[in-house]
Amino acid sequence: MVLELALLIVLGTSAWVFQGTRATAERVGSHSVPSIQHVLAAHAALVEADQAAVASFRSGAVGLTGPGERYQNQIALAGQSLTQLAVDSIAGAGVGQSIQLVQGQLAAYSGLIEQADAHFRKDPASVLATADLWYASRLLHMPDGILDQLDDLLAVEQRALDDQLTAGRMAPGWMAVWIVPAAVLLGLLVATQVFLSRRFRRTFNPPLIAATLAVLALAAGMSSDVAARRELTATRQAGATLVGVWQARIDAADQRGQTMLGEAVAQACPGACDDLAIAKAAGESPAEETLTARIKDVDGHAAAAAATTGRLVLLLLAALIAMALVPLGLYPRIDEYR
């Protein structure tokens, strides 16, 4: 009876821990990691769009093609990323409100760029076009502006990922919930076989030996749960590296765009707009290949974590086999004793 109860406890805790890891791996791979990437993609797209708009006004191409195809593509990409973020994020209801705020600010930004385009077409020498362009860029860069809002969203998504990997059934202590009952069960099985061997003078009890092997197989199979947790930890670490690389590319592009904007302002009103001038030294931008490799690294760890959690049925089958073998090993000895 005690062995059967111990087997039931091990069966229940194994399923509980394993299911928790699998659910977390699925959420991380399909929601948390994509959400972080959506925020970064939106941030990068808006910086690229702003740089493209400034370049178009500086070159005068805006008079023929407007802010340009590159600007339009990046604005569309930013909008798509925000829409996907609203779908994938599981960081709480506040995320939806923040996304709506960013989308509203983005519409205001696009309106200012269109207004600058209209002023430029009327008079390429008009200071109004440059002023609208400057105000549009300030809408991105000012405190609590669009880029600040995206930084806040990124922090929220990163905290959500950290919480998923450190709280609930993913907390380090949860493995003890399974390990302790499994160790007790193995000890009981060994002790029972030793007792039966001494009491009935029979060295081997094949059903109990098979049950012990089934429990050992269950314990070995649970190593895949440990591997999944390691992959999830690696996902978080690779994600932090990805954020750093992506942010460096964003900062470098932003610095180039802001430098061009400062030059455009200085050209539009030399000596009269010094308080509006912007000048930033362009930093080094990580190569596109580096960014791609980091994205693949994060996605690879997340996929590996999900792949290692697909053995639950086999583990439960091993536990059920052990539960069936224990009575086969004990009842003959009980009848013999009677």
What is residue 326's three-state secondary structure?
helix
- Give the contacts of 26 (CB within 8 A, at least 6 positions apart): 306
Cβ 315 vs Cβ 38: under 8 Å: no
Report the pLDDT value the prediction gives residue 44, as an integer from 0 to 100. 93
Q: What number of other Cβ atoms are within 10 A of residue 307's Cβ?
A: 15
The reported pLDDT for the residue numbered 273 is 56
CA distance 257 to 50: 7
* Full pLDDT tens readout for the chain, 338 residues: 677 787 778 777 777 887 888 888 888 988 999 999 999 999 999 999 999 888 887 777 666 667 878 889 999 999 999 999 999 988 888 888 999 999 999 999 999 988 888 887 787 767 888 888 888 989 999 888 999 999 999 999 999 999 888 887 787 777 777 788 888 878 888 887 777 677 666 667 777 778 778 778 777 777 777 888 888 889 989 989 999 999 988 988 888 888 888 877 777 666 545 555 454 554 567 777 888 888 888 888 888 888 776 566 666 677 677 767 776 665 555 555 54
Predicted local confidence at residue 312, as pLDDT = 62
DSSP string across 280-309? ----PPPPHHHHHHHHHHHHHHHHHHHHTT
DSSP H helical ranges for the chain = 2-27, 33-59, 62-65, 69-88, 93-122, 127-141, 146-166, 174-200, 206-221, 223-268, 288-307, 312-337
Give one word for 270, left, alpha or beta, with left for phi > 0 and alpha for psi -120 to 50.
beta
SS (H, E, C) 135-202: HHHHHHHCCCCHHHHHHHHHHHHHHHHHHHHHCHHHCCCHHHHHHHHHHHHHHHHHHHHHHHHHHHCC
* Length, in residues, of the chain: 338
Of 252, 262, 253, 248, the closest CA to residue 283 belongs to: 252
pTM equals 0.83
User: Hey, CA dihedral for 37, 39, 42, 45, is it positive or negative?
Assistant: negative
pLDDT on residue 109: 92
For residue 103, give both structure tokens.
């989308």
Residue 199 has what pLDDT? 67
List all residues 6 or more positions away from 190 whose beta carbon is below 8 Å from its beta carbon.
212
What is the model's pLDDT at position 264?
78
Distance CA 293, CA 279 (A): 32
